[in-house]
Amino acid sequence: MTVSTFSVLLSQSCEIKPVSNPNIESISQVQATSSKVCVRIKVNKKDISNIHGESSAAAILTGFTKEEINFTKMGMIALNILADALYDLLKQDKANLRPRSDCDITNLYSEHRKLNKHIPSNSWGGSWQTIRNTDIAIGDDIERIRLTRNELQHSRIFKLEDKRFIELCNILSDILKRFDHHNIPRRLYTDELNDILAKTISAEEVKSIENDILGMTIEVEIEH
């Protein structure tokens, strides 16, 4: 099995809420270093549980913990692939969209909910507890993307524990397979996921992304 190289990217600091909440927590900052952040992993889904044993030594040497690396992986997936999937889906249902660079998960979720075409099995604004494994409609996956994004936003610290990281990796892998089938993108989202896991990025680039998105906390209030 091919072993690839993984690198770190920072999560975007915005939040989607199905109802208004004035007490939005922000993600703590990460200290950047001048070194390259690089961890060797196996990229197949079935090998996700093996990532952390291989990454421990590298994480310590670079000054990042495994939990910080987990969080940055999730941020990279959310910023790039999940938002792409929502945007490509919206293009099928709405004309005259803003450019992709002007859209994030916050406003894309809002647009899908306003259109009300892909209705989740348990309606809009659900929780992880109300979405069952058997709920695999497009609307259910839109909700899963919102919940993933909010989970990053709600984190008080820039860390994601191994157990939850593996759970989210498995959930998002399944989501992207379904979006590959529905959207038929020019390049498969699952291939892009593997690229993210293999990419090496400098700590300076991580810090640059952090500075670009720091403080951009957005709240969306939607009436039921």
Q: Where are the domains of the chain?
A: 3-213
Query: 71-82: per-residue pLDDT in tens?
Result: 777 888 888 899
Give the whole-angstrom CA distance, residue 219 versus residue 216.
Answer: 10
Angstrom distance (rounded) from CA 200 to CA 82: 20
Three-class SS state of 182:
helix
Does 210 have pLDDT greater than 50? yes
108-160 residue pLDDT tens: 999 999 999 999 999 999 899 999 999 999 999 999 999 998 888 777 777 77
CA–CA distance, 219 with 90 (Å, rounded to integer): 20
Q: By the 8 A CB rule, do 104 and 14 touch?
A: yes
Give percent above pLDDT 90 in the chain.
42
82 DSSP assignment: I
112: left (phi over 0), alpha (psi -120 to 50) or beta: alpha
Three-class secondary structure of residue 39 per DSSP: strand
